[in-house]
Amino acid sequence: MNPSDWQALRLTAELAGLTTLLLLLLGTPVAWWLAHTRSRLRGAVAAVVALPLVLPPTVIGFYLLLLLGPQGPVGQAMQALGLGLLPFTFWGLVVASVLHSMPFVVQPLTQAFEAIGPRPLEVAATLRASPWDRFVSVALPLARPGFLTAAVLGFAHTVGEFGVVLMMGGNIPGATRVLSVALYGHVEAQELGQAHLLAAGLVAFGFSVMLALYALNARGPQRLGGLPR
């Protein structure tokens, strides 16, 4: 691997780590609400969360460019506040990755919260535990395997993103060039040896992740958040 590829590897790891952290922070309350609400909006919210599973990544990237670009409402608001634009920056990649990987975190967490059932929370309520205490002391520990599944899937999916990061970030070395884009660049330049090296590494990473997840689900399918449906 040349220095540019090592730089892409470091950037990919930073992007995947930050995206996974943000997804767990943002996705946990969404998953909790989906697991317990009786609102008529549940189906619509669940459909919006799952939309990246069926939309081409370039569609998400295209609309993010329109929304966050210099002529978009968010882009214009950011410029009015003296902030920089997000497209073709690392933070633009973070926003795109969070939206694109959302179902890979929210769905396992929702399944994990649903698997807990009402009984443990009701018992905690009889002991005068507040709603927050019931969530932190009862729900989170019981849903820990689901959090592990969600974190691993969110991280792995972010590592493998291509279309949405290319649309949103382009191919700027040291700023937005991640491993998948670096691989594409090697193929375009007919540098097949370096392309093979990156591709084989991504295949090995993906296989290891899926093998670990299926092993975990085989050990405790009733407790783990499963793969996205």
17 located within any domain: yes
Question: Can you give the pTM of this predicted structure?
Answer: 0.87
Domain that residue 130 falls in: 3-219
227 located within any domain: no
Q: Could you give the C-alpha distances from 226 to 81, 105, 106, 108, 159, in angstroms and in order?
A: 42, 10, 11, 5, 20
CA distance 109 to 86: 29
- pLDDT, tens only, 108-134: 999 999 998 888 888 888 887 888 888
**Residue 150, helix vs strand vs coil:** helix
CA distance 112 to 225: 5
φ, ψ of residue 113 in degrees (nearest 5): -65, -40
CA distance 180 to 169: 12
Residue pair 135/84 in contact (Cβ under 8 Å)? The answer is no
pLDDT of 174? 86
Q: What is the sign, positive or negative, of the torsion defined by CA atoms of 98, 103, 104, 110?
A: positive
- pLDDT, tens only, 169-217: 888 888 899 999 999 999 988 999 999 999 999 999 989 888 888 887 7
pLDDT of 9? 92
225 located within any domain: no
115 located within any domain: yes
Amino acid, single-letter form, for residue 4: S
Question: What CATH number has the domain bearing residue 21?
Answer: 1.10.3720.10
pLDDT of 222? 45
pLDDT of 106? 96
CA distance 93 to 177: 10
- pLDDT, tens only, 76-102: 998 888 888 899 999 999 999 999 999
The answer for residues whose C-beta is within 8 angstroms of residue 42's C-beta and 6 or more apart is: 34
**Residue 138, helix vs strand vs coil:** helix
**The pLDDT of residue 225 is above 60:** no
Give which of 86, 97, 99, 88 is closest to 16, Cα–Cα: 97
The residue behind tokens 């003296």 is 82
pLDDT of 105? 95
41 located within any domain: yes
Angle, in degrees to the nearest 10, between helices 3-36 and 90-116: 40
229 located within any domain: no
- pLDDT, tens only, 52-70: 999 999 999 999 999 998 9
Into how many domains does the chain fold? 1
80 located within any domain: yes
